[in-house]
Chain A
């Protein structure tokens, strides 16, 4: 049933915008015309109140007194609310761990924690009033750094261990051993549309919340919890987000809940749109990590055993830190077979923003650690890191069991890397660049080719389900709704293409409607790259239900065998006659055929036992590889990413244009994470990089001037939607090649004899420090190697 068997029309007889075609984003014309409506753009309800949060000014302190008198007496202020005003439960932990008050109660646990909400007639009045609270603190010792976290020892989640073989024994006997520590910085999402929610009170306990969220069902549930009501009283809706990247998976809940609280307490519509600075100070980011690694290897670059501890600063609350740090472990192998392995996580509680989901969800940090291990082995053995990579790739028949005991059955990395290596002329370019470095005193160039293997599925098995709702109206137009949210990734257009393909109607006959808990309930976050996989299948199921009814109707009405009813482009063949789609639908309506159906999908085969560290958590893997060339200024540490060549596996792409956009955008976002995007807290725990003036995401000029992107032909072996593969997150990790290209350039300062141990983000300052370390090593330890 799941096999996709499209009719084989002549080239000119195809629907417009079917599956596998590069259809433009459904909102593209509205985006460029400025008519795409985001929440702040919608017409404002009469009497709207604007809400601003009052933030704590200490990293860790007891609230001795909170005087909100000056706030209340500010002109334009209508109401001020604290935790004491919450009618339900003042708790919004997305992981149900009970450690995340919506508004602080007796302590603040990070600098920027919301303490109260002020509602005013204008946004300006609310912002001014929020700064006027008089708060007395009794400081408590904050935990900000890894050193402090290790000493404090508090975790937000029980750590996970993945182990296979006897790593200790193998390490003790290994001919080569490398030990080190790598710092990997966090990342601000910097969605261009900041957090926002607009709540409109309804009758009795009802409320509708327009919220820029990747997870409407969770917003619904937490609003109900805060208001002390049931989920069915709350509707959460989102048409589109101006970017999400994981930053609106759980971090959006605070704003939805606060807006709903104000709306229900005042009886007026309430909108909260924090200023960018507040947004960045309040919300969590990608976790920064410190990874301690111990690697045993042979002299020819074969890894024998790996022991890693991955510590993360999770921030003040658990949020999604358990699954994030778990996924870091799941990806600390990347594409490499570790014969013996022992991996543990340390999800530390710290007095900083509560770190959260971010494209890759911990996977990127694990993968960066894996690539450091490769690099260490390469320098220890005097080999090209790419050669070490290839020597340690997972096999297809043997050496194909992961540290979590899942057997990899779809491994294509060896072939994919081989193709890219040839296409980008890696070996010759590497030799030429290294030779040119010899005579270039200031600018040094480097090149690196790194692979990606990313596991697809939520590791929380229950999340791997989706629902859809498809209506055919009696004029033949189609309404499509599903649980996935649109944040720019092109999910809506992809799912619409699926429905168009199933019905064999032009995609512009499928109207895409806003995601709302009122239409499809109990949805999962649009996350883990799962949007198209899950919702595409659910929508297809709904369409197939409707097709079944239409076939039965046509067979009966025209007295033909059901097998002779075929869906051709924009028409249906019934026996030996063809009927236009619209006509068939109208006839079906008159015959009282139900033209609305739900669809449902759950991912098969997956299971996971966290305590045992065993299972089959991923339905399949997405693969890719990037080769990056970089130039480094050894006097300032500044650098340019000059060229990138990418080959990426999208399975049989649902939409090659959208997928290419995910690859290009993900790569640059990953590159930004590992280069110029630096989060910097001062000694008091105040985030000082809280705006684009201080936090530097890649600009247009930072993209590589030569940027070749190709899709790897590779039909998904699993029965995913039309054999495509998920593409949201995996390309981000292609950016790791950029870090290693910089490292390769730095290594040239000391003749490629020492591992530069370049930490991330590799800001110009860190690069210059690494250059100077290399210079010192070159000076002190001259080697015989030319």
Chain B
């Protein structure tokens, strides 16, 4: 047991022996450390004004490299920095006080007006020049890497044009900086912080527990039935920042290295619950480009770098984008407790709104995604008010297996249409045995109206949700048919005009 959190603040080693489990990095930076360059804009991880860069060693033992990932400090708990280097806008200037190249470019291109969002943009640009995939949240073959790197940073003044000009210059002519020069030293210092101890620190408001193995994790969960299990905290942090809830203890699974692995198994791709949405998306993109596109639009880089696939499933949100896609793919969910492990089809995990098939002492350990069957056609469509960093109004995921021109099997799941991610049983039945052409559209739409009674809210009306859910089959049929008409306005790579 280690009773301290250890990390590097800039190049300075820090050891924190006492802190509240839900103290946010933002409040710690601005409060205790008086590093006021990092701003609070929304306190919920949606505006990016608090963007900081977290640096971690990644790669096989002996061949690690530093990875620079943006995260939102407002929804990151301090304990989650254990073993990392954190960089804020104050750390970018050179030893002589000179501006970092990305800072200089922002000045030259008139990239700041009111300046309040600027430190966050600077950090996103900095991460982008260090490691483009990490900065875009592992976006696979992005058609617009700058947009993806900056999607989580809102600016209300500039209209983004000058910031993009600065970003284009930064990418076109990368300049080495002090962080590159210090790479090996920093890497060695961070590797030296690694251990297999369970970390336990506490403050007046409670305890922060961070086991390093799955075994220690399930023991802690069994011993603390009231604990809040936290992975990326991109949702749980809002219970604190907006709901003002007191969480005690918090069990963070970010140190459990065996949960953060992706493995090829005979059953398919097994993705550990601790794998970030960024890494999961990169792996799933190889299965099908639509999955890459789905994850590209899942939150923004900052939240994909923090949030995990396991967390996205385990919190049971009806609008968590991963679940419908994985249900359509036929994924299996893995759970574990001190008494054993359990597998179930992912769709069976979602019992009702706010209720999942998970015992109090159980944790989600991973999900296995089978390969696409022969003859299968996959399509995943996200519909939201804004393309980037928005919660879906409707998400439709289709896996149709064709045999001699007819639909032999249909697995169709929607998000945003019910209290849980849910399969369209009637819709599927309407398709099976039919050819994949326009003739199936009326029956499919009628069946969806029996499958779903969506809600009206600020994102969309019930009528719109139902209409769009039905229209998505038209898009799929256009894409499956001859002529390849333009069907998509936002998509990565070759899909852009699929």
Contact = CB atoms under 8 A, between A and B. Distances in A.
Given A440-B485, A693-B44, A636 B385 contact: no
A27 B385 contact: no
A523 B389 CA distance: 41
Interface string B429-462: 0000000000000000000000000000111110
Contact of B103 (A32, A38, A241, A680): A32
A24 interface: yes
A768 B244 contact: no
Contacts of B141: none
A442 B36 contact: no
Nearest to A663: B159
Given A276-B42, A638-B383, A668-B159, A702 B468 contact: no
Contact of A664 (B162, B241, B390): B162
A490 interface: yes
A33 B98 CA distance: 10
A192 B156 CA distance: 7
B387 interface: yes
B116 A692 contact: no
Given A631-B489, A692-B47, 17 more contacts: A28-B112, A32-B104, A38-B39, A191-B156, A192-B117, A276-B44, A442-B487, A443-B486, A660-B110, A665-B113, A694-B459, A696-B386, A700-B153, A701-B144, A701-B387, A702-B388, A707-B161
B157 A243 contact: yes
Contacts of B193: none
A639 interface: yes
Contact of A692 (B44, B459, B487): B44
A272 to B, nearest CB: 14
A639 B488 CA distance: 10
Interface string B456-477: 0111110010011001101100
Contacts of B385: 676, 678, 696, 763-764
Contacts of A525: none
Interface of A: 22, 24-25, 27-38, 40-41, 124, 127-128, 131, 189-194, 240-245, 275-277, 439-443, 487-490, 631, 633, 635-640, 657-658, 660-661, 664-669, 676, 678, 680, 688-689, 691-694, 696-703, 707, 709, 763-765, 768-769, 772
B158 interface: yes
B160 interface: yes
A763 B390 CA distance: 13
Most chain B CB within 10 A, of A192, A441, A698, is at A192
A633 B489 contact: yes
A441 B381 CA distance: 18
Given A33-B93, A34-B38, A664-B158, A700 B485 contact: no
A534 B464 CA distance: 49
Contacts of B119: 31-32, 34
B158 A661 contact: yes
B160 A689 contact: no
Contacts, number: 267
B113 A661 contact: yes
Nearest to B121: A32
Given A28-B107, A636-B471, A700-B388, A765 B116 contact: no
Interface of B: 30, 35-44, 46-47, 49, 88-90, 92-93, 99, 103-104, 106-108, 110-119, 122, 144, 146-148, 150-151, 153-164, 241-242, 244, 381, 383, 385-391, 393, 457-461, 464, 467-468, 471-472, 474-475, 478, 485-490
Prevailing SS type, chain B contact patch: loop
Nearest to A668: B159
Contact of A689 (B49, B157, B458): B458
A772 B106 CA distance: 44
B468 A635 contact: yes
B119 to A, nearest CB: 5
Contacts of B459: 694
Contacts of B161: 664, 668, 703, 707, 709
B116 A242 contact: yes
A658 B161 CA distance: 13
